[in-house]
Amino acid sequence: MALLPRPPEPSRVSRLLNKRLIRTAIAVLSFILTVYLVLASRDGGVAVVLPLLGYRETPEAYHFSTTSSFQPVSINPTGKTKEELCATFPKHLLNYVQPVLKMGHSEGRAKIEAQLDSVLACFGKDDLLIMSDLDDTIREHKIVDALADLPQSYYNLRKNRDFKNYMWQRQMRDNGTLHSEDPTATKPIDGWVIDKYKFLPMVERAWITKPDKPFYFFLEADTYVFWDNVFRFLQTFDPDVPVYMGSPSPGQYDKTRDIKTWFANGGPGFVLSRGAIKALLHRESGSNGQYIEPPIAEKWLSLVSEECCGDSVVGWALWNANVELQGYWPMFNPHPLHGIPFSDLYWCQPVLTLHKTTPKDMVELWRWEFGQRTLHRPLLYSDLWHFRHPGELGVLENWDNGDWDSWIPPSEAKVDSFKSCEQFCRKEDRCVQWNWRGGNDKTCILMQSIRYGQAREREMIPEKRGAKPEEILAGEKPKGKWVDYNSGWVGERINK
């Protein structure tokens, strides 16, 4: 339907005027919508603007009001036991969201223990599903081998050579050599290669074991999940609509539709609704009701054998089931805690997950979170900054806060020390932190995004990065430069 009525037999001039009026109307409506969203985000109320990187024709932002289901909402964690903290957890919402942990048998046990002492601490043995590549038990939790029931076609090593790693692992488990004290015994097994095979069977097994849950939340051993924010967010969606959400990564190219597809990176976690899993697992049947399509794992075996990563396979399988990724970034965060770039794109947004979280950070962050929740507002990145920050002085020695969103001073500025680097940063209105790389390097890095970073001692950076020992002549000292790292933040700009 035309926005403006056309006169009969219009002239070329009138057609051009019509087009201009249409473009003007669209521009005015877009401006009004933008102003509304900006004012809504500043009204001091409880609503939060949520960014959307969806791949459908949907709005670019959603405006929701949510409340916490924790009781009490906030509690001082100091001196509290794990049981006392978990008493506030809204266990009834596990009827709405099913957590599924994916791990590997070769996974560092410290990661799993940290998960069970933090993100997964409040889940009993009947609440949590743990999928791996061997059956096992950790504490009271049964670990399921998601690969145990794969069809015989997977064992054809001519077409699926990487699967030999899983076969070796099972063989060593059966003959008692898997846990040998000899560290070289398990060297032939590549746990990372096995990992890609677990994704599709994990989704199917989760559905069979805990069927018909509204949402399934898949996480990994180093994924930190802010459950309060997750519960708030997912309750704004219809679970019977195919919803697939996570941190977007470039996926397969669809030649038929001439379009690049996206998948949810498994590290920050991803979510599938009941409707999405039904679409993924659906099999066509004949007129007599007999299936004419193979099960999902068999259907995509050739792709799994060729791909590096199982999360990519899940994304492509969902795409072919007409389920597109809704990439809610930066809420699903691909960065570790120390690497979050606290820019304007992050600062006022809710945080759902973190990736590559260390066991120490996992436990400390989980306890800290209990004292930070509020009834009418989800936890934001600006709140998370206060979990780890450089202190009152805003300066840390032997510390690298990175080079994200950075630039360096011009050579004529003659910045040649940590102090002059700081002074130059403070003169630049957009600069919120600096990084002085001293020693032989003498580089001043200025940044307009906030990043905490991590400890980094003085080190020698070789001229030839990644040089192999055989490439260095006998008795020759490796050539390079010594670099030390010192970082600073402009506190008054961060606290505005």
- Say if residue 310 is exposed, middle or buried (CB neighbours under 10 Å; 0-12, 13-18, 19+): buried
- Asked if residues 454 and 347 have their Cβ atoms less than 8 Å apart, the reply is no
The pLDDT value given to residue 30: 47
pLDDT digits 0-9 by tens, 247-285: 999 999 999 999 999 999 999 999 999 999 999 999 999
With residue 271 as reference, give the H or E element that holds it: strand 270-273
Rounded distance between C-alpha atoms, residue 10 and residue 30, angstroms = 28
What's the CATH architecture for 82-327? Answer: Alpha-Beta Complex (3.90)
Q: SS3 of 462, please?
A: strand
pTM beyond 0.85: no
Residues, the chain: 496
CATH of domain 393-466+477-496: 3.50.4
pLDDT digits 0-9 by tens, 104-151: 998 888 999 999 999 999 999 999 999 999 999 999 999 999 999 999
The percentage of the chain sitting over the pLDDT mark of 70, rounded to a whole number, equals 84
Write out the two tokens for 418.
């940590």
Question: What amino acid is encoded at 229 in this protein?
Answer: N
Q: SS3 of 208, please?
A: helix
- The answer to whether residue 433 scores a pLDDT higher than 50 is yes
- Asked if residues 64 and 50 have their Cβ atoms less than 8 Å apart, the reply is yes
With residue 262 as reference, give the H or E element that holds it: strand 259-264
pLDDT digits 0-9 by tens, 175-213: 888 877 777 777 778 888 999 999 999 999 999 999 999
Write out the two tokens for 83.
């049981």
- Asked if residues 434 and 447 have their Cβ atoms less than 8 Å apart, the reply is yes
- Asked if residues 157 and 140 have their Cβ atoms less than 8 Å apart, the reply is no
DSSP state of 450: B
Write out the two tokens for 160.
């699926």
Taking residues 450-470, what's their average pLDDT? 78
Taking residues 353-365, what's their average pLDDT? 96
Which residues does 208 contact at the CB level (< 8 Å), separation at least 6? none
pLDDT digits 0-9 by tens, 163-177: 999 999 999 899 888
